[in-house]
Structure 1
Amino acid sequence: TEGGDQSGEEPGGMSRAWGRGPFLRQERSPVSQVEWPQERHITAGFMVRRVLAAGLLFSLLLGSSVLLVYIFRSCGPRPCRTPECHDLQARYLASGNTSVAPCTDFFSFACGDAKGTKSSFQALAEENKRRLREILEKPGSRHLGTGEDKAFQFYSSCVDTGAIEAEGAAPLRQVIEELGGWRISGNWTSLDFNRTLSLLMSQYGYFPFFRAYLRPHPTLPHTPVIQIDQPEFDLPLKQEQEQKIYAQIVREYLAYLSRLGALLGGDPDKVQQHAFLSISITSQLFQFLRPLEQQQAQEKLFQLVTIDQLQEMAPAIDWLSCLQATFTPMSLRPSQLLVVHDLEYLKNMSQLVEEQLLKYRDFLQSHMILGLVGTLSPALDSKFQEARRSLIQKLRELTQRPPMPTSPRWMKCVEETGTFFEPTLTALFIHEAFSPKTQSAAMELFTAIKDTLITRLRRVPWMDEKTRKEAQDRVTQLQVKMGGPEWALKPSLAREEYNDIQLGPSYLQSFLSCVRSLRARIVQNFLQSFPQHRWQVSTWGVSAYYSISDHVVVFPAGLLQPPFFHPGYPRAVNFGAAGSIMAHELLHIFSQLLLPGGCPACDTHALQGALLCLKRHYQSIPLPGGLSFNGSWTLLENAADIGGLAIALQAYSRRLLGYYGETILPNLDLSPLQLFFRSYAQVMCREPSTWEPQDPHSPPMLRVHGPLSNTQAFARHFHCPRGALMNPSKRCQLW
């Protein structure tokens, strides 16, 4: 406006000056060298006009620049001011360390020093449990007399530690009497061994010598089959363990079993003797296990046998009666096929049981009861729980594993309630935390990721045309399950009756009634015609997965929550966090192709070169002191990490071209693409010491630095100099 006023005065003055003489109408001789006085006046006027014209042009440019600034401010990224964005911004500010150069150590830049930091997935899982707690503790929300009411009652009895402490060990002593008692604390009725074993399996959900469970058959039509596996051992034994460590583990476990016997009123000398024999049995059973590598080498990872055949090979167990009691109402026959994980273990286990029955029948009884007490400890008073907690912590110290975090009582009660009343809590959680708007936004994100993968497959250098077409068809035909199972959307399921659950009079009795009800429901569900995919995670869980047998990818509602996803977040956050997770799971469709011989028609040389490049890329990235990893063991997950980030970035970049109005988080000083990379890294934040070598994923720092340093766009948007950790001279292209 100021420039416009000045330009309005100058033309008028110029017009009056030029109107005083006839010089505009005179011609000058081109050869004239004479400078007339009037000509000097004309030259001065001409200069004034040029100055004023320049001023006018400047005014126009200044006005245009103001307009452009206004346009760019209107169309460029705006700060997100919603409560969800405010919470996310606070989370990012609290977790990161902006004093660290992002090109040198982006893990620290995004995650801070990560000491004491829970895994981002673990933190989200705990947040989901808090939401379930709010549901279960909400006054007046239950429908009396329904299964929903029973779920609320069970949770209330679980958190009522006063009543549990008042009961003490009395409910557990009653259980032991029902099993025939034991010599440790007095009376013992020598029941038939297989009858006791059958009761432990069917009524208490405890399997002392082997595990038996239902699973879908690996081939169509996926009919239910019983699988027999090795038991789960309390002792963290290894095939080749130092004698000193082994002796320390045995001492700690002996002290624990002795403490259990003392809490149940046992004679100290008898307790010590029976505890030692129990450890001896466990140790011998462990020696019967064959390493997984040996089973794979012998191509005997799983074997199909009938109940009759197993009875001949492992005669100490009455297989038909024990399995029939456990899997009622299934009707089992001697010709029933079983899937056996380690047949040699079962043969040796049977021989050991026969020897114990001949010499130490009462010690075998004590071994089974001591194991049961350990599994029931969450339902017992604080003395039993503290004994169990102390054992676990000491064993983790001896095996150089990080301490187990202590969970509050309410969280354990939420977990138990969720296990026993999953249909009810599934419906309630979906209603509370996964609205139709959230589901629609999540499905839109998944569609963008899937479409980008289909496009990207056209340029995978090592695929032949036939494999490429088959791969694209596989992605097109893929089913996606998002939020919760279809049945979870039916409100009536939240009020399921659970007629077979009897609550009280003690919490232990309620707990055991729920154990039996759950077992019966699992069997019943397997017997029903169930054409749809059976979910392998709870709705409030945080684990996505791809099912090979059903060709289904699953993203539970619990995963699609802040800070990974929210409809009100900037798109950069949703694509960087949830989008990269979605792409990661989609790439597991093709994991088989990356294995040796998995794609005979592909360009093997190009594929192996890309995989070798990937291994070297990860090996070149420094790790904190004391950490090492097996690049071959983590290869498939590394490939999915790198490919998942690339696909999510391409999908986000395409979305930026088609949509205006992108937002950013205020006070972070990050552009949309920088925010995308920060959100990806935030998913991987985790204290490095919590990573364990058997994890198929790389250590958390590598899960951040590996994919991001392999992405040229990261170095460009963070202005990383050539040769910096996050801008290496060579990158790998697999997907």
Structure 2
Amino acid sequence: MSETPIELELQLSIQPTSQPEPERGLQPPPLFQLPHPTQHPSENQQENQLQSDIQLSESNPEHQANPVWIHHRRLFLIFLGLSLYAATLVFFYYMSQNNQTGIVTPCVSPACEWASARLSLSEDPFTQPCDYFLFTCRSERFSPDSWGRQSGQGVPGHPQSQKEKSVWAERTVQNKTKEDKGLSKEKTQDRKAVLLYYLREILESNNRSGSSAVQKARRFYYSCLDTQSIDTAGAEPFLTLIQKLGGWAVSGQWNHTDFNSTLSLLMRDYATFPFFNVYVGKDPNEIARGMARRYIQIDQPDLLIPIEWNSKTQKSQAKAETLRTFLASCQRYLELLEVPTSSNIIHRSLFLSLSSQLAVAAAPLHYRLTQGQLHQRMSIKELQSQAPAIDWLGCLQAVFHPLPLTEDDHVLLHNLHYIVQMSPIIERWLNKHELSTSGPLHTYMVLNLLHTLMPALDSRFSKTAKNLSVALGNTEEQVVPRWKHCILETERGFDSVFTHLLNERTAHKEAEEIIQNIFSSFKSKLHEMDWTDQTSFQFVMKKVQSLIPRLWTTKEILSEAELDLLFSKVTISKHSFFFNYVQLLSLWQKRLSKLLSEQTDVADVLSLTPVLQDNELLFPMGMFAPPLFHPTYPRAMNYAVMGFLIAKDILHLLLPDIYSQSEMVHTVGECVWDHYLTVTEKVSRGRTLFLSAAQQQEVWVQYSALQIALQAYHQSLKNHPNDTSISGFSYTHLFLSSFSQVNCASDPYHDLMPLEPSFLITVICAKSNLCPRNLQCPSKTQQHLLQKC
């Protein structure tokens, strides 16, 4: 519209001096557009009335006698009315435009205050466009070392209610100095780290109310953190447990317990599987036919002895130098268990010999897969005839108590060759009379139990295991912070408590809304793509239209009363982590029975990516943990980060269908890459100019995910115009600035991303009027050649 001087004056008068910059891309809807003054019907009516008054005054003698100033007053009043009316329209127009462009109520929640501080200390892509986007996912800025240091700063949690506000303030004050040092460099962390930080905040909160089950989970967590008490206890808790199990020949006190009885006990109460692994899973052959029944799965064990696969002989073997290192670690374990030197040598040798014999029959997964050795079905009765040394029915009944297993129930084998070879090895060692007093099989089971319980023992044991790993060349293992280790251990036994706590704190309505809006925008994106033919488009759309996206909340979320009943027999000690850990193993085993008996899919509390189940697209609650998502954030922030991640997950799930039916994956991926090469001037530097097919896919996925999230956000503004903001940013500015916080480590596909995701803002803004400012750099003379992708 054309602006008159009056309109320009009104525009200046109604806009505050500290307002954010307007966005060029969000134009006011037609309802608020000002029409031309001469075309307004009210103005025409008033003009006609004016003409009638003039005509009447000319024909009426009384009017002719009136002074001239009366006519001027009437004209002045009419003009004043017209001006006020126009000013009102202009005022409402600019107010509506301001609502569209981000002059909104600031968000002042504790979560927004933290987000505002974090955003203000980060580089703004619209103030430093020439330098900010030139990093790649493999640059030093995102090397494992630097990323580890940044992650180590910690992410403060966000309160979900007024009760936690004091906790927030207290923690913010305590950690302010440390956080300020790393806040300016810290980017949005990978989703697993974010969720673990959030669970840590919940467990460490000052809120001591809640169910007894929740308090037991907290006490377990804190007992895990108490490394001083753990180290002080030393090996004594383990040695006491061995005496309860019938003693040990190494110590000179052993009551010659029955082999299968001891094995069943270890499997049932201590989740220890020395000779074979047992877990629960589905049969992929039945999944293909639409069936989802679960079966007991029997696999080769996690061997303690280090072995290598010989591709020529197609057998496992151990090298002499690795065996020497392994023997040294065994000796150290026995020393820590206060085994006399005279017994140490004998039992070490027997343990090494038995371990080597079992290892020869084992094979790596890739070999077993090529040989068709996975998911071989047979009944427990048939398995008993194949490997008679093990009491299969008795052992499995112990593990899955109280389920009524019979010998006719079927199990799935993943290395039948190993199981068949294992049985005669065990029989030979059982029948060696000269070894009856030394009990090598019992020692083998005890040392496997030691490795199971090692996380609950003092640091000397774990240090010995780490030294062995380093000696064998495993130098890539990162040190896991103690709190993170304790969170993972607590979840193993108290997963239902964690699910309850997450369910209490998840903003279900807001999460469901963003899921539905992103999925709707995703479907719109499919309509905009170029497809091979109409049949291909209909094939993909039929599959997409059949999907029902929703937050993954199952009937398994227990109430506080149900949780208290479930954990009523669990006793947690404040200062004995070993005692607590033994109970955890028993709880963990009960989860296997539950999985097998209920035959229903239970949401994994630590799951972070959506899954397809039949026609449902399920999004775990753990995805919506602060600071990636918060119900009090401006929607611009939630859509920029969580909306982008949701869209990216959906695209990855359905990528095979889209990639095979549309050329846009290749075309758009190359277009974005051309932008990157042009802006960074890498064409002239002789850098790599081509992307692999996998890299093209990932670039397309992330660029499309950004477009989908931005479209969904604009649609939400259209449906619900009100939004809050932080840092004085307008809507789209806040969206894009928040998105710039997402980094390469936010998903498992980051290795395929050849550029930092925030560079995609440059591509969005290249030929778009959505961005609040121009991102072109004067030094980049080639930027005028950029095309819209």
User: When the two structures are superposed, what TM-score results if normalisation uses the length of structure 2?
Assistant: 0.67
CA–CA separation in structure 1 for the residues paired with 2:135 and 2:224: 45
Which residues in structure 2 correspond to 1:9-24 (within 5 Å)? none
1:443 deviates by: 1.1
Q: 1:351 to 1:640 in 2, by over 3 A?
A: farther
Mean alpha-carbon deviation: is it higher for 446-455 or for 177-186? Answer: 177-186
Structure 2 partner of 1:704: 756
Aligned equivalent of 2:117, options 68, 90, 106? 90
Determine which of 550, 572, 583 is the counterpart of 2:647.
583
Q: Distance in 2 between matches of 1:339 and 1:442?
A: 39
Deviation at 1:124, TM superposition (A): 1.0
Match of 1:649 among 703, 710, 719: 710
Q: What is the match of residue 543 of structure 1?
A: 608
2:639 maps to a residue whose letter is: F
Counterparts of 1:223 and 1:254, CA distance in 2: 43
Q: Letter of the aligned partner of 2:336 in structure 1?
A: L
**Distance of aligned partners of 1:237 and 1:147 in 2 relative to their CA distance in 1, 3 Å threshold:** same
Kindly indicate whether the alpha-carbon contact (under 8 Å) linking 1:546 and 1:554 is maintained by their aligned counterparts in 2: yes
CA pair 199-338 structure 1, distance change in 2 beyond 3 A: same
CA distance in 1, matches of 2:141, 2:338: 54
**Counterpart residue type for residue 239 of structure 2:** R
Find the aligned partners of 2:371 and 2:298 in 1 and give their Cα distance.
19
Residue 238 of structure 2 is matched in structure 1 by 172
1-side partners of 2:784 and 2:451: how far apart? 52
Find out whether 1:212 has 2:272 as its counterpart: no
Residue in structure 1 matching 2:260, options 169, 194, 217: 194
1:368 maps to 2:445: yes
Structure 2 residue corresponding to 1:102, chosen from 132, 143, 154: 132
Q: Alignment partner for residue 256 of structure 1, among 318, 329, 341? A: 329
Aligned to 1:684: 743
Contact 1:638–1:698 (Cα < 8 Å) also in 2: no
Instruction: Sort the Cα spacing of 1:328 and 1:542 in 2 relative to 1 into closer, same or farther, 3 A.
Output: closer
Q: Deviations over 1:307-345 (max 9, x none)?
A: 233333334333222112111122222222112223333
Number of equivalent positions: 636
AA matched with 2:203 = R
Distance 2:347 2:569 in 1: 36
Q: In the alignment, which of 332, 339, 343 is matched to residue 266 of structure 1?
A: 339
Shift in Å at residue 205 of structure 1? 0.4
State how 1:190-589 maps to structure 2 within 5 Å: 190-218=256-284, 219=287, 220-233=290-303, 239=309, 250=323, 252-268=325-341, 270-275=343-348, 278=351, 281-282=354-355, 285-358=358-431, 362-388=439-465, 391=468, 394=470, 398-408=473-483, 411-431=484-504, 433-434=505-506, 438-462=507-531, 464-482=533-551, 484-488=553-557, 490-503=559-572, 507-524=577-594, 526-528=596-598, 530=600, 533-535=601-603, 537-538=604-605, 541=606, 543-547=608-612, 549-589=613-653
* Structure 2 contact 670–696 (Cα < 8 Å) conserved: no
Q: 1:470 to 1:165 in 2, by over 3 A?
A: same
Distance of 2:783 and 2:431 partners within structure 1: 69
1:580-619 matches, cutoff 5 A: 580-593=644-657, 602=661, 606=663
Deviations 1:185-207 (A, max 9, x none): 32234333322222211121011
Q: Which deviates more, 551-560 or 562-571?
A: 551-560
User: Residue 623 of structure 2: SS of its match in structure 1?
Assistant: coil
State how far apart, in whole Å, the 1-side matches of 2:198 and 2:414 are. 35
Residue 212 of structure 1: how far off its partner (Å) = 0.8
Give the drift of 1:373: 1.0
Higher mean C-alpha displacement, 253-262 vs 461-470 = 461-470
Alignment match, 1:51: none
Query: Residues of 1 paired with 2:629 and 2:346: CA distance?
Result: 56
Quote the Cα distance in structure 1 between the aligned partners of 2:718 and 2:692: 37
On the 8 A contact 1:128/1:558 being kept in 2, the answer is no
Q: Which moved more, 1:607-616 or 1:468-477?
A: 607-616
Post-superposition offset of 1:575: 1.7
Check conservation: 1:618, 1:631, Cα contact below 8 A. Answer: no
1:419-438 residue CA offsets vs partner (Å, 9 max, x unmatched): 3233234323432x22xxx2
> How much is the aligned-residue C-alpha RMSD, in angstroms?
4.9
SS at match of 2:579: helix
Whole-Å separation in 2 of the counterparts to 1:459 and 1:262: 69
Check whether the contact 1:120–1:683 (CA below 8 A) recurs between aligned residues: no
- Match of 2:489, SS state, is helix
Indicate how the Cα distance of structure 1 residues 563 and 696 shifts in structure 2: closer, same or farther if over 3 A, else same.
closer
Shift in CA distance, 67/503, structure 1 to aligned 2, threshold 3 Å: closer
Native 8 Å contact 2:124 2:737 kept in 1: no
Letter in 1 for 2:712: A
Match of 2:743, as an amino acid? M
- The alpha-carbon deviation at position 681 of structure 1 amounts to 5.0
Judging changes above 3 Å, is the alpha-carbon distance between structure 1 residues 269 and 732 closer, same or farther for their aligned structure 2 residues? farther
Where does the alignment leave 5 or more consecutive residues of structure 1 unmatched?
8-60, 623-629, 688-694
Contact 2:492–2:584 (Cα < 8 Å) also in 1: no
SS in structure 2 of the partner of residue 116 of structure 1:
helix
Q: Report the equivalent of 2:62.
A: none
Q: How far apart in 1 are the matches of 2:346 and 2:707?
A: 61
Distance 2:585 2:595 in 1: 16
Contact 1:449 1:651 in 2 (8 A): yes
1:85 aligned partner, one-letter code: C
Q: Is the 8 A contact 2:516 2:550 kept in 1?
A: no
Instruction: Spell out, residue by residue over 1:107-132, the C-alpha distance to the aligned partner (whole angstroms, 9 max, x if none).
Output: 68997964623343243133212223
Deviation string, structure 1 residues 561-608 (Cα, Å, up to 9, x no partner) = 22211223233321221112222332344255379xxx7xx57xx489
Q: 1:655 to 1:382 in 2, by over 3 A?
A: same
Question: In the aligned structure 1, how far is the partner of 2:530 from the partner of 2:516?
Answer: 24
Letter of the 1:177 counterpart: Q
Compared CA separation, residues 423 and 698, structure 1 to 2 (3 A): closer
Deviation of 1:376 after TM superposition, in Å, equals 0.7
C-alpha distance in 2, partners of 1:366/1:130? 38
Distance (whole Å) between structure 2 residues aligned to residue 614 and residue 203 of structure 1: 58
Distance verdict in 2 for CA 1:563–1:189, change over 3 Å: same
Give % identity.
Answer: 26
Match of 1:126 among 187, 196, 201: 196
CA apart distance, 1:286 = 4.9
Question: Do the aligned partners of residues 490 and 636 (structure 1) sit closer, same or farther apart at CA in structure 2, a change above 3 Å counting?
Answer: farther
- For the residue of structure 2 that corresponds to 1:482, the secondary structure is strand
Instruction: Look up the SS of the partner of 1:117 in the other structure.
Output: helix
Output the CA distance in 2 between the equivalents of 1:233 and 1:95: 48
Kindly state the Cα deviation for residue 89 of structure 1 after the two structures are TM-superposed. Answer: 3.0
Deviation at 1:702, TM superposition (A): 3.5
